[in-house]
């Protein structure tokens, strides 16, 4: 019984640690929803297989979101019309190379790694997004439920 209690207690502490980042992600998603209209997002990130992936990776690189906070933002982009590869590219590029992590790379590593890190994030994000658009499956719409008796 003590083991279950310890697992639940540690899970609660992890939840408390992550909560602030999730709230920040929801805040950024709300800002994106207010200032970027769905038709513009659909125009730039919704059509095509390569261009939207590159744009979303470039858009995601400087944003200071962690891997927890990027999920609500990417979900908001997807709901506003971004294709799956673009949303995935954004989800990979953003936590790998935010402005805050670039500054920490400068302080803790060296200038070469500070330059290589966002480049590697961009290449990884673009490759994954393009692979999703070419080889992945699109989300199928939910099946419609019909009432018995044809009506």
pLDDT per position as a tens digit, 116-148: 988 999 999 999 999 999 998 766 555 566 666
pTM of the model: 0.68
Measured CA to CA, the distance from residue 8 to residue 2 in angstroms comes to 10
Mean pLDDT for the chain overall: 81
Measured CA to CA, the distance from residue 73 to residue 76 in angstroms comes to 5
The tokens describing 126, both together, are: 């673009």
Q: pLDDT confidence of 103, banded at 50, 70, 90?
A: confident
């Amino acid at each position: 019984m003590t083991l279950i209690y310890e697992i639940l207690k540690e899970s609660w502490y992890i939840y408390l640690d992550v909560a602030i980042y999730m709230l920040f992600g929801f805040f950024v998603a709300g800002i994106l929803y207010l200032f970027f209209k769905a038709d513009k997002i659909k125009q730039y990130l919704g059509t095509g297989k390569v261009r939207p992936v590159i744009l979303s990776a470039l858009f995601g690189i400087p944003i200071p979101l962690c891997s927890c906070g990027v999920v609500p933002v990417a979900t908001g982009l997807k709901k506003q019309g971004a294709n799956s590869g673009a949303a995935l590219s954004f989800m990979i590029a953003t936590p790998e190379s935010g402005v805050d992590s670039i500054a920490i790379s400068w302080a803790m590593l060296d200038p070469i790694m500070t330059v290589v890190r966002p480049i590697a994030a961009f290449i990884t994000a673009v490759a994954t997004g393009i692979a999703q658009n070419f080889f992945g499956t699109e989300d199928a719409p939910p099946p419609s439920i019909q009432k018995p008796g044809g009506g």
